[in-house]
Amino acid sequence: MEPMAFEPGQRIGDYEIVARLGAGGLGVVYEVRHLISARREAMKILSPEQSGTPEMVERFRREVQTLAALNHVHIAALHNAFYHENQLAMVMELIHGETLSERRRRAALTLPEVLDIATQVLQALVYAHRLGVVHRDIKPSNIMIAEGGVVKLLDFGIALREESSELTGAGYLMGSLNYMSPEQVSGKKATPRSDIYSVGVTLYELLTGTLPITGTSSYAIMLGHMEKVPAAPHQVAPLVPAAISNAVMRALAKDPADRFASAEEFLVALQQAQSGRELEETAVTLPLPKPEAMSSTPSGRSLSQQKTPSGSSLPNLPLEDVSRKLAVFIGPVAKIIVRKLAAQTDDMDTIYREAAKHIGSDTDRAAFLRSKRQ
């Protein structure tokens, strides 16, 4: 449902609505003017429709508290938060500029510009990670390029703090699938190294003009993040220096332990890759992913043609039925979970029992196990 709209000139607390800037997952963002200081700011408002969902209210409240703990030049700053007629609102700095998604569609970026953007994002993450905050949704549309080229990291709506409990049950996906780390895809808890993977995806896309993982379905993309190793950036775009390409590929390692240990280490690697040489001011063309690239599957074959693990009788097992039943409780990640279990055993009782462990609720877990008999 569309959040309630506020009109220019309408007052909310000590603020006057100037214009609507856009809508997000948790509400609508407006440009506002403080009635006393006359300062222009941005206000995000959680609508009554969303306020009726306890999880959304809690997620919005946590975003407020997370931003209140962060004070960094490359993170959009929180100025205030208050309730207006049972609507929670947060007031943030007004950033004049465009998102990285908008920027790359408008004009080509140069290699130095790409690396400068990545450097500023990583500087923001170095700071956030030291405070125990994992962003979990790094992507071009959450990166704002302000006037003067200053980069601001936006939208901490699904950020996770060390002292906070997870709001979403095991198996549910939080974040944007194209930029999501393998561990997030598999339903595991995100860590700072998950953000590093997402920065790697973003940097890969900026350098080559295409995403490292594509697919015709959510399942294909999820499987790709977990199993497919993309071509190195310098193999796709020859203008990319090999040292920078290697740094991106390390950030994209499937196993978190094989990635950079921290955002700071990733940042240092990019800086070292640039040292001792002048980067050519050659525009790196950044087109949208090609349509044909979107039709590819992780292995280059259709999913039905992919080989099953040796020693497993996957074709004879009712895996689609198990996946469908499990997906009711944990979403699309069910297919990957069932596929991995079936690669280990052909005993359906074991598959059901192990799959049930990914369901957070005892009641839902029991319902899933009962469904085996249906």
List of residues 6+ apart from 233 with CB closer than 8 A: 204, 207, 208, 240, 244, 245, 248, 249
Distance CA 229, CA 240 (A): 18
Q: Phi, psi at residue 80, to the nearest 5°? A: -165, 165
Active site residue 137: yes
How far is residue 345 from each of residues 255, 261, 311, 324, 330, measured CA to CA in Å?
A: 23, 34, 9, 19, 21
Annotated active-site residue in 14, 116, 137, 155: 137
Q: Provide the sign of the torsion angle of the four alpha carbons 29, 35, 38, 39, taken in this order.
A: negative
Nearest to 84 by CA among 144, 17, 139, 23: 17
Determine the number of helices (DSSP H) and then strands (DSSP E) in the chain: 15, 13
AA letter at 214: T
Distance CA 93, CA 31 (A): 10
Nearest to 181 by CA among 260, 243, 246, 121: 260
The single residue listed with the structure tokens 């319902």 is 367
User: Looking at the annotation, which residues are catalytic?
Assistant: 137
